[in-house]
Amino acid sequence: MDTYTLWILYAFSFYYGRSIMNLEFLSKTDKQLEELRFAQTPAGRLARKEIHRRKMVGYCDGTAIDRGFDGDGSPKANPYEVS
């Protein structure tokens, strides 16, 4: 982001008394956010907000989707899994 955009975001947060969006959670996968969302901490709150934001824009990276089971009962591999 350029300096002007950052200044506008800062002015908005100062005027309305809200903090600007935490950009750290944009880089997390859906699975990481899913693990964090039950925590009753500020990180859990931000994870829940990011999950809600992603639902509103229709974004899904596929890491939190349950793939089901193979014929032998073992869970299917997730092709989107980040190691």
Q: Are 25 and 51 in contact (CB under 8 A)?
A: no
d(CA 73, CA 45): 35
d(CA 62, CA 58): 12
Tens digit of pLDDT per residue, the chain (83 long)?
A: 677 777 776 676 666 655 556 778 888 888 899 999 999 988 888 889 888 888 888 887 878 776 777 788 887 776 666 65
Helix (H, G, I), strand (E, B) or coil at 40: coil
47: amino acid identity, one letter: A
